[in-house]
Structures are given as C-alpha cells and as structure tokens.
Amino acid sequence: MPTLPDLPVTRILPALDEALSRHQSAVLVAPPGAGKTTLVPLHLLDASWRGDGMIVLLEPRRLAARASANRMAALLGEQPGETVGYRMRLESKVSAKTKILVVTEGVFARMILDDPDLTGIAAVLFDEFHERSLDTDFGLALALDVQAALRDDLKILVMSATLDGARVASLLRDAPVVESEGRAYPVEIRYRDRKADERIEEAMARAIRDALVEETGSILAFLPGQGEIERTARLLEERLPANVMLAPLYGAMEGRDQDAAIRPAPEGCRKVVLATSIAETSITIDGVRVVIDSGLARLPKYEPATGLTRLETVRAARAAVDQRAGRAGRTEPGIAIRLWHQGQTASLPAFAPPEILEADLSGLVLDAAAWGVTDPATLSFLDPPPKPALKEARALLTRLGALDADGRITPDGMAMRALALPARLAHMVAEAGKRGEARAAAELAMLLTERGLGGNDVDLESRMARFRNDRSDRAQRVRGLAKRLAESVPSQGEGSGSSIGRMLIDAYPDRIAKARGQAGQFLLANGRGGEIDTGSSLSRASWLVVADMSGKAGRARILSAAEVTEAEIRAALGSRIESGSQVIYDPEKNALRAREAVRIGAIALSEKPLAAPKGAAADEGVIAAVREHGLAILPWTKETEILRCRLGWLYRGLGEPWPPMDDDYLLDRLENWLLPFLTGEAELDRIPGHAMRNGLMSLVPFDLQRSVDRLAPTHFEVPTGSNIPIRYDGDEPVIAVRVQELFGLSEHPSIANGKVPLLLELLSPAHRPIQITRDLPGFWKGSWADVRADMRGRYPKHVWPEDPANAEATRRAKPRGA
C-alpha cells in the first residue's frame, strides 16, 4: 500500500488496532479534518482480523459516499471501482477487486436484510454517526443483532466528529472509545445580525458581496434549502467579479455538478459555494477560508395524523453551526460570519433531534417485520422509536396489506419491501403491476422520491412529461432504475393507461381532495384543508390526489398533485365509501352543522342537511373544527387571552412544569383541556368563557394552580394605589405607567416572588412613553435629571421633584396656584 498522508488520526491508529483486535466493536471520536473517513478504512485493510473480508463504510449522503471513495482511490493511485468502490441508489462502481465498499446508509440496510450473514464482510464502519439518520440507527441495530446472533467475528466501528462516545459505547456492549485530535486552524467568529424584515437571501447576498471585498479565499455559504440557494444565486449573479465562480450545492443536483462544486477553484479564481447542510460534514472544499452561516436548517417532521412529512425551517443546532464554522479552518486560518445576534447562540439547541424521533416509521416497521421482528423497539437503538409513530406505521401497513393482524409480514409486504421504495409508493407500484402498469407507476414513484426531477410544477402530469423528455444522465439513470423496479413486479393484464391521479389513489387514498367552491381551495379526505395558487391549472380541478403538502391546519399549500375523476375514485375506493350523518364546520357562521352524507373520509360525495348537532356530537365536532382551522375560531375573551399569555410567560420565564401555551401545544392536547369543558354548543361563539379558562388551567399541575395569581399577577399596585395591568405577550412582563405614580418607590417592581423584574414603560402625563427601564432606582439616580429638565417645560402643571425616590406619588397635577 502507498504511504498514507500524515493526519491527526494517524496518531491513534495503533490504539484503534488494539481496540478492534480485542473487542468486537469500537467507537472513534475525531473532529472534522482528522482524516477518519479516508485513512481509517485504508489502514484497516492490513488488519489481521480482516482476512479477505470486505470493509463496508457507511456515509450519510451520496455526495459524501462518492467523494470519500474517490479520495481513497486517489490515495492508492487507482480509479474508483478497483480496491475502493461505491454503491448508491443511482450509481455503482464495484468490481471483484473491491475490498472497501462505500455505501449510503439506505443501501446498507437493504444489504443486511437481503443477506443477514453479511457474507464476505469483515467490518462495518458507520461514519458521521452524529447525524443520526433513521437509516443509520436502523442499520446499526441490525448489525448489532447480526453480531450477537450470527457473526461474532464481525467488527463494528462507529465514527463521529461530535458524539456522546460513552453513550454509544454502552449501546455497543461497553466498546472501547478511541479519541483523536483534529487538525484545524484558528477560526474567527463574527456576528452580523440581520434585520427583522430582511429575507435570508438578501442578508446572505449582502454578506457575500462584503466578504468578497474584505477577505481573501473562497466562500462557503450555508442556506436551509434549494429555494434559498437559487434566490441567493439570482441576487449575486449580476454583480460578481469576473474571477469569482458561483457553485450551488444541494442534494437534488446531478452528481457531476456536486463534484464540481467541491473541487478547488482554478488558479486565479475564487469560488462561492451556496450549500445546504449537505456540506457540513464528510467533505472538504479546498480553498474555503470564509464561511457565512444563515443559522437555519430544514428538517423533516412527520405528522402521523395526516401521513405527511413536511420540511420545517428551524434554527440550526449548536453542533451544526460549530461544524459549519470549522469548515473555514480546514486548510488555513479562517473566518466564520454568522447572520444572527451573538446572544442568540446560547439559546440554540445542542443537537438536532434524531430522525427516528420525528420520521415516518412505516419503512422501518416493514423492514423489521422482514427481519422477523414485529416490535422494532426490541432492537438495539440509541433512542427507541416512539410508540405513537410505531402504532401509526403498523396501522398503515396493515391497511396496505403488508402486515397481518399479528404484525407479521405478508407476501404483499415482501413484494413491497423488495421495491426499496417508501411503503405507500411501493404499494402503488405493486397494485399497478396487477393492471400491467408497473413501469408507469415506478416512474411516478421515482419522480416523487428524486427531488428536482421534472421541475417543480404542482401538476404531476406536467412534471412527468418533462421527466420523460429529460436526457440528462441523472434522468436516464432514474428511468433505468424505474425499469428494473417494474421488471421485479409480477405483471397481470395489458394495462389500460391509468392516469397519474388514478395511480396515486393507491398510495394516498386519504389525500383525495375535493374542490371547496373557491378556486384553489380543497378539502382532503383526511379532513385537512389545502390550497393551490390560482395561477395553476389544477386550481380549477374538481378532484385531486395530493402527493405532497407543506404548512399546517386549514391553509396548507399543496406542492404536488394530479387531477382525478370522481368515477376513478369510486372505482378504486368503492369499499371505503361510507354513508351516514356527519358534522362539519361552517366558517361563515362559526358554527357546526350536520348532514346526511355519502362520503370518503371527510369528503361528501352527496349530502342533505340535518338538525344542528348537540351534546357530545357537537363537542367532538368543535374539536375537529379547531384542529383543522386553528385556535382562532374559538371565542377567546379578553380574560382568557390574558390568562393564556400569563401561563405562556410562566413557561418561558420559569420553565417546566409550567405548560407552554403556543398553538402547537394546545392543538396537540385539545382532548385534554378543551373537550372536557365544552357544553354541547354547535355555535362556537356560545361556548362560555369559563369553559376556556377552566380548560387552560387544567393544563397546569394541580399543586401550581394556586400559584398562578401570585407568580404572574394580572395587575401591579403602584404607590398611588392604582392597579396597573401587566402585559405578558412578549418575552418580559411589562407595565405602562405614568412616572408620577411611581414616586416614592425605591425598589424596582417585580413579580414571581421578586425574582423577575417588570419592564417599566414610563409615561408622561399625556400617556406618551418617555423612558423604558429595568432598573428604577438607577433611573432615579441617573437619567431622571435629563427627563425632568425636558418634562418640566412640557408639563409645567405637573410635579417633577429632584428626588423622586423620596417624593410622594400622585395621579394629579399641582393644585391650582401652586
């Protein structure tokens, strides 16, 4: 083997050798730039325990898999596919000579399910484990199961840059932990707070232009998603110097374009790489010495109630922003510019939540059933999968015929699992195969899973037409994979040319959508509302099947859908069509009404009116209406709004066990706090205020309920005896009071047993703000003199003493003649 470069991880290779020679597993903690991704697999080729077995290296993303394989091959003086190969969904370079195989995490899960003995594999290396994808967690759980039951000679190495090594070591049956130092140059952190009304693209473009003038070297800019990258690129393109190259970098790009983005800039040129979190780990972009961080990330969040996974833009975790900053110091001293206020950094979450806690678990449950495990929670997970998500996944797979009543996989389930698609789309392709239409359904499935193919049109018919005419390498590879998937599905019949909408019904029967009468407004069978921009042809459709949405409650935006006919719906879902009474919400009257309806889920195919609901039926209808349309439809009184603000502040100011009062928290618990206090009213405006008040208070632990008025009082009594209302709608409790009413007060007003100072908005006699303070004694001793000098001239009839701390408070002007 050629001599490998001397990198920080080189120092700990002897310790790693000893750990793996004595133990089945080990944990390697090494910062970015230490060399673990490329040097460790190459070094382990010489390990005595390897024999002739292959080393499998798992990477979280295709870009990282391809880049690390290329780098290792280059160090050996070879091409990828020789000693070092790689395999991912749409690309593979492997030969009989391959001894190190780099795979994406999803590929490994399928490898181990198809060959539980992992024949010919000596070691499995989990790189960048801290990213905690669902496939990583599941792959490790399966590998540990294999190691314990079938292959005690299998070596497992978990590698990460930021990791609780002791916790992972415990999962690996007390495996040894080896730690390496990194190789990083100093990075200067600068903060550049963006304005509240400034779009992130505008702030980023401005920061990049300034950095190009003020700094040297290439720039790596982190943005949350493809849309922000494209908009930032448009803002920059017209004003970039001739020697500056602009390079977007995100997951939906062609592989060759991704590779071009991470190559060094040509001699005499600088590069500006606009990247998502894809560039946080595993790869090095040579020449970068300036990182500009938006501080934002886009994370998937699964909603079991609707079966939708929406991408949510959130503040990036502290570990992520530290990783991003470190990219500036990989090859020389660098600078990291953060587009937020420095004080906000301390409030960032420490780590992003593991995907297993937020994801759709239907694929996990199906694969576990294929493994012979009906309860995935019995496998060795660092964080066990949530029970509600497992329950929802089992229910979905049972409806799709993939699991039997006992949770065991069925023949249909085995066929679905073999397709390597999300469960719903696998079911769609399998059902299409029964009609002789597997190829068309497989292409549709690929269109929905490979982001960016066919453009971004809401109408999937238009997207499919563009995809089928796309001659790019990526599109041709995707069509080739669709063809192979279709060939694996038993075909029956000649095919009748089903529409895209008809095929989607088999994947998303709960997302049939009916027009609501207003262009672009739709009601889905799952009860959710959705809307399409009126500029889209689909906005005038009578019926749709929705493949993807974003947003919450009744105004979610439909991102992709296809038109379908009522006849197709009736033919496909005849067994799901139900007749009976139904309670619906009328937003114009803010009231419930009842109807006798023939329906699919929440959608009525035909109906006739019934008497307004009463009692329990009305109460359940109110809960459903609030869940769909939001809390604003409830009759909030001033008293209940103030109570909600007070309780919300107690949570923000004092923390748990005080409950948060944000919309998500209350909507998730409607059955707990609202339903028990409803009185059977069909008209929401007639719900009594005490029902709302008692409901909110029921969320407060009983032993704290008596403390609410003491810790978060509604009013503060000032020295004149006036009770001034306290506002709790912001981060701090606030009172607005005329300054004369505070004379004689030598201590600053506070609440929560004196622990929390009130923010004082001091008013003039005309009730205009003159000062804001959190330190009244300091104000009396300091700036009061300037305020007094100014106010005496404006309001000569009022008292302005030199020593207000020892003056008498008053509501009145001076007596006449004084």
Residue with tokens 């530290």: 322
Cα–Cα distance for residue pair 538/541, rounded to 1 Å:
5
Nearest to 448 by CA among 313, 304, 560: 560
pLDDT for residue 446 is more than 60? yes
Helix (H) or strand (E) holding 222: strand 218-222
Token pair in block for residue 303: 């909603």
pLDDT for residue 649 is more than 60? yes
**CATH 3.40.50.300, the chain: domain bounds:** 8-179, 187-353
Helix (H, G, I), strand (E, B) or coil at 606: strand
Is the CB of residue 334 less than 8 Å from the CB of residue 290? yes
pTM for this predicted structure: 0.71
Query: Assign residue 153 a region: left if phi > 0, alpha if psi is -120 to 50, beta otherwise?
Result: alpha
Residues 787-802 pLDDT 10s: 998 898 888 889 999 9
CATH code: domain 187-353 is 3.40.50.300
> How far, in whole angstroms, is CA 116 from its chain's centroid?
32
pLDDT for residue 98 is more than 90? yes
Residue with tokens 């109408």: 459
Residues 347-406 pLDDT 10s: 888 888 899 998 889 999 999 999 999 999 999 999 999 998 899 899 999 989 999 999
Cα atoms found within 13 Å of the Cα of residue 672, Cβ hemisphere only = 12
Phi, psi values for residue 206, rounded to 5°: -65, -45
pLDDT for residue 281 is more than 70? no
Residue 761 pLDDT grade (very low, low, confident, very high; cuts 50, 70, 90): very high
Percent of the chain residues past pLDDT 90, beyond the cut: 61
Would you tell me the crossing angle of helices 411-418 and 423-434 to the nearest 10 degrees?
110
C-beta atoms surrounding 580 within 10 Å = 9
Helix (H, G, I), strand (E, B) or coil at 135: helix
CATH architecture of the domain formed by 8-179: 3-Layer(aba) Sandwich (3.40)
pLDDT of residue 818: 56
pLDDT for residue 512 is more than 90? yes
Residues 523-564 pLDDT 10s: 999 888 899 999 898 999 999 999 998 876 556 889 999 999
Which residues have C-beta within 8 Å of that of residue 13, sequence separation ≥ 6? 39, 40, 43
Is the CB of residue 470 less than 8 Å from the CB of residue 454? yes
Cα–Cα distance for residue pair 17/163, rounded to 1 Å:
21
Token pair in block for residue 195: 């304005």
Which of 270-284, 293-307, 349-363 shows the highest mean pLDDT? 349-363
Nearest to 557 by CA among 521, 586, 588, 527: 521
pLDDT for residue 266 is more than 80? yes
> How far, in whole angstroms, is CA 253 from its chain's centroid?
21
pLDDT of residue 599: 85
Residues 448-492 pLDDT 10s: 988 888 888 999 999 999 999 999 888 998 999 999 999 988 877
For 553-564, give one letter per residue: b (16+ CB within 10 A) or e.
Answer: bbebebbbbbbb
pLDDT of residue 605: 85
Token pair in block for residue 557: 């935006």
Helix (H, G, I), strand (E, B) or coil at 369: helix
Percent of the chain residues past pLDDT 70, beyond the cut: 97
Residues 130-151 pLDDT 10s: 888 899 999 999 999 999 999 9
Rg from Cα positions in the chain: 31
pLDDT of residue 501: 95
Cα–Cα distance for residue pair 619/746, rounded to 1 Å:
52
pLDDT of residue 305: 61
Cα–Cα distance for residue pair 715/712, rounded to 1 Å:
9
pLDDT of residue 166: 82
Residue 282 pLDDT grade (very low, low, confident, very high; cuts 50, 70, 90): low
Residues 174-195 pLDDT 10s: 999 999 887 678 899 999 988 8
pLDDT of residue 306: 64
Cα–Cα distance for residue pair 263/302, rounded to 1 Å:
35
Give alpha helix (H) positions in 180-254: 200-214, 226-237
The overall average pLDDT reported for the chain is 90
3-state helix, strand and coil shares in percent for the chain, rounded to the nearest 5: 40, 20, 35
Higher pLDDT, 783 or 154: 154
Is the CB of residue 75 less than 8 Å from the CB of residue 5? yes
Strand pairing category for 603-610 and 578-586: unpaired
Which residues have C-beta within 8 Å of that of residue 150, sequence separation ≥ 6? 116, 117
What average pLDDT does this structure show over 639-666?
91
pLDDT of residue 755: 85
pLDDT of residue 451: 81
Cα–Cα distance for residue pair 739/807, rounded to 1 Å:
12
C-alpha distance across the termini of the chain, in Å: 100
What average pLDDT does this structure show over 769-775?
90
